[in-house]
Copies of this chain bind each other. A is one copy, B any other.
């Protein structure tokens, strides 16, 4: 009963765009059924390609080994010399071609064609961002705890699957893209907590740290931003901006006493 009421409330929050997206999604689920079949066919084709490769490559190497075992006089026979050179040119080319001939593009085109035929709009980045924004609006309206919401818990009830570290990170990133550092901060903190229990983590810690540090800075906490950026520089020593940002935050702290 409470869950039904909740869904009505949630639906009330969604704006027109999201409703269109929801209708599209409902249609699309049916259209995505063929994807497994196509991917299974692709895997089958790739396995056949690898079997071909193994056969050709082993024959190629086996014949070279035979030639070597005969010794240097092997190639003074012009028929042997011809066969060996042909193997090292024409037949090696064939091995290379089998290696390079990944048929993924053809299979992906089949999937795209199926989607076009089904006449449903496939969601894009803007829809993902819209869905994340709807979650944040819901959170504000009902003052929901970020960790609870990310675990699919609303009003003490489990209403959906929980979000992974990466799912949580993406909600934070949507907030960041809208310069909403308040929500970005909360969701990135939860993302850090989530990946602690993931093996392997669905998102790398250093990716979270950069967003988290910048949001802390934007919310006025330069000292904590500096501390997290130092950790970022330590765990990702080749990060293009980490060291520069450490200096930037340090200069800022020296310039003004916070």
Contacts and interface: CB of A to CB of B under 8 A. Distances in A.
Best-surrounded residue of A36, A152, A163, A171 (most CB of chain B within 10 A): A36
Interface stretch (A96-104, A191-199, A204-212, A220-228): A96-104
A128 to B, nearest CB: 5
A217 interface: no
Best-surrounded residue of A10, A77, A90, A132 (most CB of chain B within 10 A): A77
Contacts of A131: 78, 81-82, 85-86
Interface stretch (A51-59, A234-242, A244-252): A51-59
Contact of A18 (B14, B36, B81): B81
- For this chain, the copies found in one complex come to 2
Interface residues of A, number: 81
A124 interface: yes
A134 B81 contact: yes
Contacts of A149: 79
Given A60-B35, A85-B127, A128-B85, A163 B79 contact: yes
A108 interface: yes
B79 A61 contact: no
Given A95-B39, A127-B89, A25 B83 contact: no
A182 interface: no
